[in-house]
Structure 1
Amino acid sequence: MEPKTVVKEKYFIVTRGKSRKGFCRGCIGRVEAETQCGELMGLLFSGGSNVGSPKSGGVVRREDTYPLTRHQAQLLLFVSSFSKRVELLCNPQLFSAICELTQDDLVVVKHKKGHLPGLVKNLMQIGRKENKDDLYMLGFEVEFVDSDHNLSSKKPTPLPLFSAADIIQVVPSNSVPLGLHWKDGQCKCLNTKAVTRINSMPHISSRARQGREGHTEHSVIQNQSPSTSPAPLEVGSMVEVVSNSRITVYGVVQWLGVPAGKTGEWAGIELDYEVNGCSDGIYGGQRYFTCKGGRALFVPVTKCSPDGRFVYSSTGSGTSKPTEIPPVPPFEDPEEDAPPIPESEALSLLEGRMKGIQGHINSCYLDATLFSLFSTSVTLDHICRKPADTEQPITGTLRKIVNRLRRQGFVPTESVMNFRKQLGCDTFQTEEKDPEEFITVLFQKVFSTEPLLKLRSRRETCQGAYTLQIFLEKEQMGQMPTVQQLLDTSCLSGDIKFDEAPHCLIVQMPRFGNKYKMFSHIIPSTELDITDLLYNSPRECFVCGHLAEYECLQCLPDRKLQPGRIKQYCTTCNTQVHSHHTRQGHSPKPLQVPANVSPDTPVPRHMMQLFAVLCIQTSHYVSFVKYGPDPRSWLFFDSMADRCGDDQSGFNIPEIRACPELGDFLSRPEEELARANPSQTPELTRRLLCDSYMFLYQSPATPL
């Protein structure tokens, strides 16, 4: 086998820039010399049968490259797509694990029939070497696990060959689940061209191997000892479950409770892999959460232990081993701004762990807000798109964060901490803040823009605001109001109107501090009708549809007149409605009727679309984001979903999860939603109903 020697920066990959003197983004080169101005002169490994032989040269800036070892360069050479090479490099944890694969490690590979688990059997050299400095391409022979709980007895000749980019997950060899019912699949052999078998796999460092062995021993002891009490679990905890045959599976807790017909607390776990016999979140005929089919496992919490791949064992008085933050490759920051992530690419780019914005030191208020505002919505892009020669340094910092999120799907904590430091207030760097505070500073200091809202209170002078706080008495609403009802009632009670239709409307719910909230559950309105909240704009009579001339706050909760809807009337209907004995004490107010508007002119509706929701639970902010026009296109983002290591040496693990069940719930008729029992809804839907803090709406003129 060819030795894995490391020659510092001899090989490199171009990570940014378009085309510069022979090199483009994603191509791999070998350094030949370095100029005095810091540019690298190198040879390019081109395509064709002799892909490992450098055939052309070029010049590239050092800061536009990322150094590679010989082994890394050969693995990436077998990835034909330049963009996929960079995408793999942007997932440093996965790429590092792929580089250290050893024989019989379990991997999950992308296949035309889905994601299939198998065992790595050989590392293959592809191509021919004409000179000693040439490179082979390296690929992996993978032997699939079939549905009979063992390796396939009919081994293809040769085994299927996969590139590093085909591997989507790596599990150490001590966790190979031979006793599980893996979903089977067939795989045709690839055209391997000139292939030479390497006799052995590359060795992992002794430290990594010892770490793996330590994890295994720790988890087995935990499950063997009857006196060991289970670790406290919560939704979102990363856990492992060991079967009676000592087979370990890993997953994330998505539900906790007592299933029907069972006693004691159980956990609903979304597994890392599909397993026959598991469901999509249904147990005993009842749905407890939603995930991909074959990944939902329900077990007593006593069977669960912390995920040994992320928790370091300690014995006696020993302390936890320090945890190093995985290296993050340099980010390409081209001159053009990245557009919002399209619906077709959102899940492949964003879904998973170490995705989104990485939290650090109480930054969740900022992380959740930035992700909500800029990940998939174009609403505010015109504000932050300033010419490079006129923008402030802090604006450029934020633009890089947005571009990195949209291009790579991950923003490391250093970028966000630099932005917090540039905000200029010490408390923004260390303390938990409110999103409305950050939003105000964002638009005032960073963007130097006018307020998003122009509000007219009691028909006086127009005032600006960036968010709209709901103020009302609890007695004015039912137990589970909609956002539309809260907005209408609050604006009518305070005699507040929009001076003009906003492009972005951020509505803050009636809750104060981390604990107190006026309503235990709030139903999101996927669309807001603000037609009747526009100042000096034509409005429609609630009864006959003609031009309205009066509005009545006291009629708002009237159950005979569709409670919760704004009531405005033409002169005739106003007289008739208030002739009823229960409404004779009402005090309808005259409206400002625009001049030269015919009484029977149709009134256009002004609608706003929901594109994100910020939620808070015990000082922790998360967000739900709509990433496309499909009703089921919803994401859940948590910048601090988990943590690797301790408070001193560890780092937070951000996570993004798809939650199409939220779209299914919100697609129901409003009357059905008002009768829904939140305790019987999926976990993420229940979290949205209970913990909503801010609802973000945009004009349909800037669709998702």
Structure 2
Amino acid sequence: MSALAVWIVQPVGGGGSVPPLSTPEEVRAMFGKNRGIQGHQNSCYLDATLFNPEEFLHSLLAQILQAEPLLQLSSGQEAYHYQLFVDKDEKLNLPSVQTLFDQSFLTSDIKLKQVPSCLIIQMPRFGKDYKMYPRILPSMVLDVTDVIEDSPRQCIICGKLAEYECRECFGQCGSGLESIAFCAKCMDKVHSHKKRGSHASTRKLKVPPDFQMLADHCGSIPRVYMELFAVVCIETSHYVAFTRCGSGADATWCFFDSMADRKGEQHGYNIPTVVECGDLMQWVGEEGSQMLHAVTDNKALPDLPRRLLCDAYMCFYQSPKVMMYR
């Protein structure tokens, strides 16, 4: 049998089509052994992907289904996912996806033409190793404001509408990509300093005319965020998945392993398992990240947080607003 030979174990009393989960009770009914997709002959990479998101399945089968690319790049290229390319920073003990995302877009000097409905981010590789950092903190919310072409941005100094950006100012007046955006007045002031007088990467930003007219009356400039809804992890050669059941910050997260257990030997079968991740937010939140900096030995971490932080391979983000019309 091929790796595609998998079957879905329905919840107790289930059968036929299963509607979207809407209550905590319905979510809990999906937890336990013999739940999810049963793995067969090293099919975990496909099992974990199918248990993720429909959008990623489309990207895998783009040549078959002719699905449109999710990402439109300013370079004119199109893509189904974005690979993070960064130079390894030995000082970073626990980089977040947001930190690596900003560094990668700064290095590549490209932008997205529009906010995607789904953004699939592949973690950075290091030579022949699939992990550049021993641990990466998945950002539950990803700020994409500064990578959207023509998106209104605010000056890092005064908060007014930004008119220029300077890539060489990255991290000098703030953190992340928002630190490179300035209004004309603050741009001149910042670059009057002898440390920044030689910066040569200054460029004028394109601002939508209608927004530019209303800039003085709209107060703070809204930022654009995307929500994490799934993570595919790999340890050695085995793939597993974390996924959010439902929407919103309070939605339940679960962990899926298509080969968590096994019945019998050569002629036996794998037993899939879905586990609730009740304390996941405690580890990826602000307090959890502070605690993680003090834990240097990954083996000291509980199993599920360790797998999420140490084995993250692809993170999936979505924009609920964009999904409503695209």
Aligned to 2:6: none
Aligned to 1:655: 273
User: Which letter does structure 1 place at the counterpart of 2:178?
Assistant: I
Aligned to 2:159: 545
User: Which letter does structure 2 place at the counterpart of 1:610?
Assistant: L
Aligned to 2:174: 562
Of 94, 101, 108, 1:494 maps to 108
Equivalents in 2 of 1:483, 1:88: separation in Å? Answer: 37
Of 695, 698, 703, 2:315 maps to 695
**Structure 2: stretches of 5+ with no match in the other structure:** 1-9
Aligned-residue sequence identity (percent) comes to: 45
Does 1:526 pair with 2:140?
yes
Equivalents in 2 of 1:673, 1:572: separation in Å? Answer: 41
Equivalents in 2 of 1:576, 1:670: separation in Å? Answer: 38
Equivalents in 2 of 1:621, 1:87: separation in Å? Answer: 23
Aligned to 2:37: 357
User: Which letter does structure 1 place at the counterpart of 2:198?
Assistant: G
Aligned to 2:226: 608
Of 67, 74, 77, 1:456 maps to 74
* 8 Å Cα contact 1:514/1:618 also seen in 2: no
Flag the 1:674–1:475 CA change in 2: closer, same or farther, 3 A. Answer: same
User: For residues 445-478 of structure 1, what are the alpha-carbon distances to aligned partners after superposition, in whole Å with 9 as ceiling and x for unaligned?
Assistant: 13x2211111113xxxx32111011111113972
* 8 Å Cα contact 2:121/2:315 also seen in 1: yes
* 8 Å Cα contact 2:227/2:317 also seen in 1: yes
* 8 Å Cα contact 1:529/1:605 also seen in 2: yes
Equivalents in 2 of 1:608, 1:563: separation in Å? Answer: 19
Equivalents in 2 of 1:513, 1:548: separation in Å? Answer: 38
* 8 Å Cα contact 1:509/1:694 also seen in 2: yes
User: Which letter does structure 1 place at the counterpart of 2:260?
Assistant: A
Flag the 1:694–1:673 CA change in 2: closer, same or farther, 3 A. Answer: farther
**Structure 1: stretches of 5+ with no match in the other structure:** 1-85, 91-330, 375-379, 381-435
* 8 Å Cα contact 2:141/2:225 also seen in 1: yes
* 8 Å Cα contact 1:643/1:652 also seen in 2: yes
Aligned to 2:16: 332
* 8 Å Cα contact 1:611/1:696 also seen in 2: yes
Q: How does 1:615-634 map to 2 (within 5 A)?
A: 615-628=233-246, 629-631=248-250, 633-634=252-253
Q: Which structure is richer in relative contact order (CA contacts within 8 A, separation 6 or more)?
A: 2
Aligned to 1:444: 63
Q: SS in structure 2 opposite 1:481? A: coil
Cα distance, 1:578 vs structure 2: 2.3
Does 1:348 pair with 2:28?
yes
TM-score by length of 1: 0.41
Does 1:572 pair with 2:185?
yes
User: For residues 482-527 of structure 1, what are the alpha-carbon distances to aligned partners after superposition, in whole Å with 9 as ceiling and x for unaligned?
Assistant: 1111111111211111111111111111026984411111111110
Q: SS in structure 2 opposite 1:625? A: strand
Flag the 1:666–1:441 CA change in 2: closer, same or farther, 3 A. Answer: closer
Cα distance, 1:369 vs structure 2: 1.0
User: Which letter does structure 2 place at the counterpart of 1:467?
Assistant: H
Flag the 1:508–1:699 CA change in 2: closer, same or farther, 3 A. Answer: same
Flag the 1:486–1:346 CA change in 2: closer, same or farther, 3 A. Answer: farther
- Report which of the two structures shows the higher radius of gyration computed on alpha carbons: 1
Equivalents in 1 of 2:153, 2:77: separation in Å? Answer: 22
Aligned to 1:686: 306
Cα distance, 1:630 vs structure 2: 4.9
Equivalents in 2 of 1:565, 1:526: separation in Å? Answer: 18
* 8 Å Cα contact 2:242/2:253 also seen in 1: yes
* 8 Å Cα contact 1:551/1:589 also seen in 2: yes
Cα distance, 1:626 vs structure 2: 1.3
Equivalents in 2 of 1:589, 1:670: separation in Å? Answer: 38
Equivalents in 1 of 2:194, 2:289: separation in Å? Answer: 28
Flag the 1:630–1:490 CA change in 2: closer, same or farther, 3 A. Answer: closer
Does 1:367 pair with 2:35?
no
Equivalents in 1 of 2:86, 2:12: separation in Å? Answer: 51
* 8 Å Cα contact 1:514/1:619 also seen in 2: no
Q: SS in structure 1 opposite 2:270? A: strand
Flag the 1:671–1:614 CA change in 2: closer, same or farther, 3 A. Answer: closer
* 8 Å Cα contact 1:631/1:664 also seen in 2: no
Report the number of matched residues. 305
Aligned to 1:643: 262
Aligned to 1:677: 295
Flag the 1:677–1:439 CA change in 2: closer, same or farther, 3 A. Answer: farther
Cα distance, 1:550 vs structure 2: 1.6
Equivalents in 1 of 2:93, 2:28: separation in Å? Answer: 39
* 8 Å Cα contact 2:111/2:148 also seen in 1: yes
Q: How does 1:208-357 map to 2 (within 5 A)?
A: 331-333=15-17, 338-357=18-37
* 8 Å Cα contact 2:120/2:316 also seen in 1: yes
Flag the 1:663–1:671 CA change in 2: closer, same or farther, 3 A. Answer: closer
Cα distance, 1:625 vs structure 2: 0.8
Q: SS in structure 2 opposite 1:538? A: coil
Cα distance, 1:615 vs structure 2: 0.6
Equivalents in 2 of 1:557, 1:581: separation in Å? Answer: 17
Equivalents in 1 of 2:229, 2:23: separation in Å? Answer: 13
Flag the 1:671–1:643 CA change in 2: closer, same or farther, 3 A. Answer: closer
Equivalents in 1 of 2:33, 2:123: separation in Å? Answer: 30
